Amino acid sequence: MSTAFELAVIPAYKHANEAPRRYTTGTNMFQAFLQGFAVYFIIWWITLFAVLPIGLRTQADDNDIVLGTVPSAPTRFRPVFVFSLTTLISGAIYGIWYVGSTYFGLGFDALPQIGPSFY
């Protein structure tokens, strides 16, 4: 009889070459690329909102409020800084996700069940 909090069996590979190859045909490789890009884009988008307030100076902070704008509007928006930092942070997060899912077999099944089990 199984319980709700059993640990998932995670294969341990000594070398990266021993990991099974998941995608062998061109169509599957294209689907894998799209899936990886979708995961990266979601991570990038969420990271963007975490990075936006870093180093932000509002018009109220500088006492230079332009008529017709809210005082919390940025004095100077730096898109190159924001997008570069977002890309670096999300690339690191994606790399951790990729290594964990590809080489260590981690996935949603490895997470503990938080809610009640009705089966």
Note whether residue 81 is domain-resident. yes
| Total number of domains in the chain | 1
Using alpha carbons, select from 7, 9, 37, 16 the residue that is nearest to residue 99: 16
3-class state of residue 74 by DSSP: strand
Range of the domain at 82: 48-108
Helices (H), ranges, 1-119: 26-51, 59-62, 79-102
51: how many CB neighbours lie within 10 A of its CB? 20
Q: pTM here?
A: 0.66
The yes-or-no verdict on residue 3 having pLDDT over 60 is no
pLDDT tens-digit profile of 11-70? 555 555 555 556 555 667 888 889 899 999 999 999 999 999 998 899 999 888 889 999
Note whether residue 37 is domain-resident. no
93 contacts: CB under 8 Å, gap ≥ 6: 43, 47
Strand partners, 74: 58
Note whether residue 100 is domain-resident. yes
Note whether residue 91 is domain-resident. yes
pLDDT tens-digit profile of 60-111? 998 888 899 999 888 988 999 999 999 999 999 999 988 988 888 777 777 7
